[in-house]
């Protein structure tokens, strides 16, 4: 049993390190204005908004990942691979965030951003499904509630992507609204 826990702990530690690197890469994209005035910050609003949303998203992903890892016994090879896929998708977030900021929430950038959220959430849903399928301390009701919430968030991201074709700022707002459902990982289970 101790070997199983070490393996799960290693998976958690590796994932934590990747999340830390992603946040670091993302913050390196923030560039200070050349002018020494507060008014020079005003044109940076798309950068600030996209950074805050992406940082919040990474925080939510990490919190939910951390919560799920409590239920992992011995990680299967499939679980390890889907974790890598999930982390890869999250690692693309700094690029998408920078494009949204530089293009001032343009339609193509927000479509890509929302599409990336869809991909990240699909990988997370597979990861969550594999973890919860083996979590014996959770009732069937708790598993269904978690799955329902995950599907609703995924649909929200997909709708945001489609909406961004004609209304990118509304699509971006829908991304933010969908994120709220994952603020508390245990909420649907209680």
Domain ranges (residues) in the chain: 2-29+44-189
Name which of 16, 12, 126 is nearest 73 in CA terms.
12
Question: What pLDDT was estimated at residue 102?
Answer: 93
Q: CB pairs under 8 A, 24+ apart, for 12-18?
A: 12/66, 12/69, 15/65, 15/69, 15/83, 15/87, 16/62, 16/66, 18/87, 18/90, 18/91
The structure tokens 């939910």 sit at 64
Per-residue pLDDT band for 1 (boundaries 50, 70, 90) equals: very low
Q: What is the pLDDT of residues 160-184, one digit of tens each?
A: 999 999 999 999 999 999 999 888 8
Q: What is the pLDDT of residues 70-123, one digit of tens each?
A: 888 888 899 999 999 999 999 999 999 999 999 999 999 999 999 999 999 999
Taking each helix axis from N to C end, the angle separating 77-91 and 107-133, rounded to the nearest 10 degrees, works out to 160
Report yes or no: 154 and 121 within 8 Å, Cβ to Cβ.
yes
Q: Which helix (H) or strand (E) holds 132?
A: helix 107-133
Closest CA to 29 of 130, 90, 136, 102: 102
- pTM equals 0.89
Give the separation between CA 127 and CA 76, rounded to whole angstroms.
11
Using alpha carbons, select from 10, 121, 135 the residue that is nearest to residue 70.
135
Distance of alpha carbon 189 from alpha carbon 145, whole angstroms: 6
Kindly report the average pLDDT of the chain as a whole number: 90
């Amino acid at each position: 049993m101790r070997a199983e826990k070490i393996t799960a702990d290693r998976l958690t530690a590796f994932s934590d390190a990747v999340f830390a690197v992603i946040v670091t890469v993302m913050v390196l994209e923030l560039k200070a204005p050349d002018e020494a005035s507060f008014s020079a910050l005003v044109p940076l609003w798309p950068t600030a908004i996209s950074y805050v949303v992406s940082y919040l998203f990474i925080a939510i992903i990490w919190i939910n990942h951390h919560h799920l890892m409590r239920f992992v016994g011995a990680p299967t090879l499939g679980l390890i691979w889907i974790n890598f896929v999930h982390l890869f998708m999250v690692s693309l977030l700094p690029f998408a965030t920078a494009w949204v900021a530089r293009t001032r929430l343009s339609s193509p950038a927000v479509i890509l951003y929302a599409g990336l959220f869809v991909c990240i959430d699909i990988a997370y849903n597979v990861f969550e499904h594999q973890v919860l399928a083996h979590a014996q301390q959770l009732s069937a009701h708790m598993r269904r509630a978690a799955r329902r919430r995950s599907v609703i968030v995924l649909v929200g991201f997909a709708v945001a992507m489609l909406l961004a074709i004609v209304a990118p700022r509304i699509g971006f707002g829908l991304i933010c609204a969908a994120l709220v459902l994952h603020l508390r990982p245990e909420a649907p289970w209680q």
